[in-house]
Amino acid sequence: MSSQKNDLPSFRRHRRLRASGTLRDLVRETEVNINDLILPMFAQEGLDGKEEIASMPGVYHFGLDALRREVDDLVELGIPGVILFGIPAEKDDQSSSAYAEQGIVQQAIRALRRDHPELLIMTDVCLCQYNPAGHCGIVRNGQIVNDDSLALIAETALSHAAAGADIVAPSDMMDGRVAAIRQRLDGHGFENVSILSYAVKYASAFYGPFREAAHSAPAFGDRRTYQMDPANAREALREASSDVEEGADMLMVKPALSYLDITRRIRERFDLPLATYNVSAEYSMVKAAALKGWIDERAIVEEVLTSFKRAGADIILTYHAMDFARWQKEQAKR
């Protein structure tokens, strides 16, 4: 092109649009918003105060009162919601504390609902924290049985809805659970409670710190007969497709960081709102490196969360939510 000096070949000047901060802000394609974030929280039965989880610095087990105080701060920061996990005092083969009216999650939902009518209360629906085998369904003769687990999972979701949850999120990976939950909720007048399905949940080593936190590591075997093989992508489309047919309102991909390609594929194939779960080890790896002074935590977290939006997620479940919200507030003040 004649406009080029020094006989340079013709090329496009991509750097033009990066010349200043305001210009970069103008042309930015994706942005993480506090409104997109959901904080996972652990409510522990019988705990007084809060206890930091060793493998997840900055993440705590909360007793009920401490949970309420933390959620006051979360609301103050503008984070729209939480996903609750329960750590019960007792476990049994029927996982009965998962759906007990006075279960820890049910109590937490009622307390938070009273404190904050507008808060989005999401619950993880699963059995693994509530039975001694530490599996997500009922165990019989060393097998995790699918169909008989559905009633308990649906019962758990119903008990969360009855306590005041807005959104139930089944994470057990039994087949048919979205249909079972929808039927149970509708049968009890909870047709307005949404289902966020962990539609695509891989059998991942990235759940390690969570299992320590939730005391939910399997007592025998692993979760590979129900969670997905990390090597499979087409299978994710089949899983999501079933959950859409069964009545899921929103889909989720989990874990997040090593599965951005899956998030992209689900986004392209389905129209439902899409969430991704930035899981425990993804968080702990960042925290550990930050504590060692090896990385710039804020920059890393912002880049990580941005990658989820760029891949196509609408909603991000992340343990970084409070930090991110605080950084945004600080920046707004400057």
274 touches ligand PBG by CB under 6 A? no
136 touches ligand PBG by CB under 6 A? yes
Is 128 assigned a ligand-binding role in the annotation? yes
Round to whole Å and give the CA distance between 128 and 118. Answer: 29
From 50, 91, 201, 287, active-site residue: 201
Q: Per CB under 6 A, which of residues 159..188 are in contact with ligand PBG?
A: 171
Residue selected from 128, 200, 313, 321 as contacting ligand PBG according to rule CB under 6 A: 128
308 touches ligand PBG by CB under 6 A? no
CB 200 within 8 A of CB 239: yes
211 touches ligand PBG by CB under 6 A? yes
From 50, 254, 287, 309, active-site residue: 254
Round to whole Å and give the CA distance between 153 and 174. Answer: 9
- Which of the ranges 123-131, 149-157, 228-236, 267-275 carries the binding residues for ligand PBG, by CB under 6 A? 123-131
Round to whole Å and give the CA distance between 112 and 70. Answer: 10
Round to whole Å and give the CA distance between 253 and 278. Answer: 9
Round to whole Å and give the CA distance between 1 and 8. Answer: 8
Token code pair at residue 321: 């939510």
254 is catalytic: yes
- Which of the ranges 6-14, 93-101, 122-130, 243-251 carries the binding residues for ligand PBG, by CB under 6 A? 122-130
5 is catalytic: no
* Residue in the shown chain whose Cβ atom is closest to ligand PBG: 210
Task: Give the Cβ contact number of residue 313 at 10 Å.
Answer: 29
Token code pair at residue 77: 């920061």
Specify the residue, 11 or 220, whose C-beta has the smaller distance to ligand PBG. 220
Round to whole Å and give the CA distance between 70 and 260. Answer: 30
Round to whole Å and give the CA distance between 176 and 323. Answer: 37
Specify the residue, 112 or 279, whose C-beta has the smaller distance to ligand PBG. 279
Binding site for ligand PBG (CB under 6 A): 124, 126, 128, 136, 171, 207, 210-211, 223, 279-280
